[in-house]
Amino acid sequence: MTESGVWFAPGRANLMGEHTDYNDGFVLPFALAQGTTAAATRRADRVLELISRQRPGPAIELALTGLAPGTVAETVPGWAAYPAGVAWALREAGYDVPGARLVIDSDLPPGSGLSSSAALECAVELALTALAGADVPRGELAAIARRAENEFVGVPSGIMDQSASLLCHEGHALLLDCQSGETTQVPCGARMLIINTRARHELTAGDYGARRAECEEAARLLSVPTLRYINDCGDTARINDPTLRKRARHVCTDDQRVLQTVALLRAGDYPEVGALLTQSHASLRDDFEISWPEADVAVEAAVAAGALGARMIGGGFGGSVLALVPGEPSAICDAVTSAFAGRSWTLPEFYDAVPSAGARQVA
């Protein structure tokens, strides 16, 4: 039986398909080389002991048997809800999670749209299932980690982040059909750059919920179960309310852009993939209205400096931009940095975005 080890789960960037997941649509994330490790050691008792190198402070100790949604938030630092939620959701799914000491470390910037939350959940999940001696299929692990985030942490996110962290292959993006759950590995040799705008604007959680509600209402007006089922994006013109019309148009056109991106990646046509990225950004800015000034400036400056295309990624109102670059990106980084400096904004950070392997044991 496994007594200890180190498990790694990556963050992700989403190449195409934003706010399409909860509309039963398509997304196309890839795993990053950056991620989170959970170094785990079995404990003889039924206690989960949590330490994060990113959160200095005493170890947090939680009794496994008492875990239930709503029990952790008031008593311990908020981040502990992620690993505790995973332990709870695994037990709910019938896996006998043993007591464990978990030491977390990460090179992902949290809250930057790179899914440090799913990386944390999935690293902990692999660690706990290994200590439990359970061999759980990756698709089931993704669903369990999502349940932890939705029900225990209380974030109403889709299945994309956990699927990307667990299922991605090196050198590939993952086409995920959020309606059927079907996944397809798509070769992706594009050179990409993440621009962390280091901006986070308020009301993110509320706005996320508002967009979900608007999408449901737009689907109702079009008499389709979800926006996935629109046959022709031109049909969205039938919605009288201008806001709902724009929301539906974004979801429909971004779904199409995912499938177009897959075809272009297979053909190795990166300039056209770049053009789609920039179109997606315009749609997120003008139709879905979840972009933020730093993202708009980063996209504009990157494209002007030679990027093949760029768009905001993640839920919106803050976080990162993904740019497709034709080669060495230093001129693009310089241009974006000067655009930010000229506005006296906090300067952006840049990371290589290399499609990498999904979660695994590393020691």
Catalytic amino acids? 161
Where does 67-224 have alpha helices with state H?
81-92, 116-132, 138-147, 160-167, 204-221
55 scored as a contact of ligand ADP (CB under 6 A): yes
Structure token pair of residue 62: 């939680």
182/163 Cα distance (integer angstroms): 11
Residue whose CB is less far from ligand ADP, 10 or 274: 10
Count CA within 13 A, CB hemisphere, residue 189: 4
Residue whose CB is less far from ligand ADP, 159 or 244: 159
Residue whose CB is less far from ligand ADP, 52 or 236: 52
Q: What is the CA radius of gyration of the chain?
A: 20
Residues 6+ apart with CB under 8 A from 111: 200, 318, 319
A 10 A CB-CB count for 58 gives: 6
Binding mask 298-327 for ligand ADP (x = CB under 6 A): ----------------x-------------
Name the residue with the smallest CB distance to Mg ion: 117
To ligand ADP, the closest distance from the beta carbon of 106 in angstroms equals: 4
Selected binder of ligand ADP within 104, 132, 148, 159 (CB under 6 A): 104
116/152 Cα distance (integer angstroms): 17
261 scored as a contact of ligand ADP (CB under 6 A): no
Structure token pair of residue 362: 């590393």
* Cβ–Cβ < 8 Å for 80, 60: yes
Residue whose CB is less far from ligand ADP, 198 or 228: 198
Q: Given the rule CB under 6 A, which of 112-120, 178-186, 260-268, 292-300 is the region that contacts ligand ADP?
A: 112-120
Q: Given the rule CB under 6 A, which of 47-55, 62-70, 205-213, 237-245 is the region that contacts ligand ADP?
A: 47-55
Contact set with ligand ADP (CB under 6 A): 36, 52, 54-55, 78-79, 82, 104, 106, 110-117, 120, 314
